[in-house]
């Protein structure tokens, strides 16, 4: 078992939403509570600050990201840092924010929202598609683990306090075509599912909050292996790097008393399997 090493030593209060931009060969990620979008290139580290929480992104083209803030989805211009609203999320709820999100293979973007104090059932998962935002799953407390099977026929997600990862079938346009069913039940182990991504073999990698690891589950839900990371609160993985064979994992300091220097950093490892390029958002 290979432990992860530090990729970026800038600590995040709540690191989340790593995205490898396939056209730029560049990793972007967020500090939700720090209200920052971060990246690192050969020229060094870079960050952009926002007036509200930011949490997840998809790529639109070489120069633009679709970014989820606490109130809206915004089109972000990477070279200038300028951004404009594309669609509202919970614009009229000052106590809500966005959380986990990811583009789907049909060109949509799934985004979870939640109460800022994780109030039970206050959140939801929505889908942005062709300029419109539609409610998919209401009554969620902490939406996480949003990702998709390589063939685009399945979506995965979790409500972290429930300690289960669910899956649901999708139609040809990427909309849910049935009722969610349990993919992995982590309650017996006391594990908290956070962000997730699938690899080229269709297995799901899940960052597990409080466990300091990212775990791989095969397409039938069986546990395969886990890779430890230095941050106790592992929050979200993303494949990137050359041939998509590097797995990046964000972590968080949130909820830790006197966190040590390993907490809240962004890590990387070589898991021995390739990922897949993130789908383009059709914004």
Please indicate, yes or no, if residue 282 is contained in any of the structural domains. Answer: no
d(CA 249, CA 266): 6
d(CA 257, CA 199): 34
What is the 8-class DSSP label of residue 281?
A: P
Please indicate, yes or no, if residue 147 is contained in any of the structural domains. Answer: yes
**pLDDT of the residue at 75:** 98
Please indicate, yes or no, if residue 100 is contained in any of the structural domains. Answer: yes
Please indicate, yes or no, if residue 283 is contained in any of the structural domains. Answer: no
Half-sphere exposure of 260 (CA within 13 A, CB side): 5
Please indicate, yes or no, if residue 281 is contained in any of the structural domains. Answer: no
Burial profile 26-57: b = 16 or more Cβ within 10 angstroms, e = fewer: bbbbbbbbbbbbbbbeeeeeeebebeebbbbb
Number of domains into which the chain is organized: 1
Taking the mean position of all CA atoms in its chain, how far away is CA 185? 20
Cβ-count burial of 132 within 10 angstroms (0-12 exposed, 13-18 middle, 19+ buried)?
A: exposed
Please indicate, yes or no, if residue 60 is contained in any of the structural domains. Answer: yes
Cβ-count burial of 176 within 10 angstroms (0-12 exposed, 13-18 middle, 19+ buried)?
A: middle
pLDDT tens-digit profile, the chain (283 residues): 478 999 999 999 999 999 999 999 999 999 999 999 999 999 999 999 999 999 999 999 999 999 999 999 999 999 999 999 999 997 678 899 999 999 999 999 999 999 999 999 999 999 999 999 999 999 999 999 999 999 999 999 999 999 999 999 999 999 999 999 999 999 999 999 999 999 999 999 999 999 999 999 999 999 999 999 999 999 999 999 999 999 999 999 999 999 999 999 999 999 999 999 999 999 7
Please indicate, yes or no, if residue 274 is contained in any of the structural domains. Answer: no
Please indicate, yes or no, if residue 118 is contained in any of the structural domains. Answer: yes
Q: Which of 31, 90, 100, 194 is catalytic?
A: 194
The domain in which residue 155 lies consists of 5-269
**pLDDT of the residue at 1:** 47
In this structure, are residues 17 and 25 in contact, taking their beta carbons and an 8 Å threshold?
no
61 catalytic, yes or no? no
> 């509200």: which residue's tokens?
52
> 């679709």: which residue's tokens?
66
Cβ-count burial of 76 within 10 angstroms (0-12 exposed, 13-18 middle, 19+ buried)?
A: buried
What is the CATH number for 107? Answer: 2.120.10.30
d(CA 116, CA 142): 10
d(CA 122, CA 192): 19
């Amino acid at each position: 078992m290979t432990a992860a090493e530090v990729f970026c030593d800038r600590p995040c209060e709540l690191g989340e939403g790593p995205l490898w931009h396939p056209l730029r060969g560049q990793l972007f990620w967020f500090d939700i509570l720090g209200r920052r979008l971060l990246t690192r290139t050969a020229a060094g580290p870079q960050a952009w600050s926002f007036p509200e929480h930011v949490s997840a992104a998809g790529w639109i083209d070489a120069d633009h990201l679709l970014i989820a803030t606490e109130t809206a989805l915004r089109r972000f211009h990477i070279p200038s840092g300028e951004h404009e609203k594309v669609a509202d999320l919970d614009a009229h709820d000052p106590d809500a924010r966005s959380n986990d999100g990811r583009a789907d293979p049909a060109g949509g973007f799934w985004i979870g929202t939640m109460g800022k104090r994780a109030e039970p059932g206050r959140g939801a998962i929505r889908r942005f598609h062709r300029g419109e935002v539609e409610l998919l799953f209401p009554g969620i407390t902490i939406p996480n683990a949003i990702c998709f099977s390589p063939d685009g026929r399945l979506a995965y997600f979790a409500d972290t306090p429930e300690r289960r990862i669910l899956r649901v079938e999708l139609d040809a346009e990427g909309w849910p075509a049935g009722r969610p069913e349990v993919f992995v039940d982590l309650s017996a182990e006391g594990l908290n599912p956070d962000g997730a991504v699938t690899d080229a073999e269709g297995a799901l990698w899940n960052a597990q909050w409080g466990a300091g690891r990212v775990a791989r589950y095969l397409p039938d839900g069986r546990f395969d292996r886990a890779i430890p990371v230095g941050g106790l609160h592992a929050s979200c993985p993303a494949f990137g790097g050359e041939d998509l064979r590097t797995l990046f994992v964000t972590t968080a300091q949130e909820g830790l008393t006197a966190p040590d220097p390993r907490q809240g950093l962004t890590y990387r490892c070589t898991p021995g399997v390739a990922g897949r390029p993130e789908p383009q958002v059709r914004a």
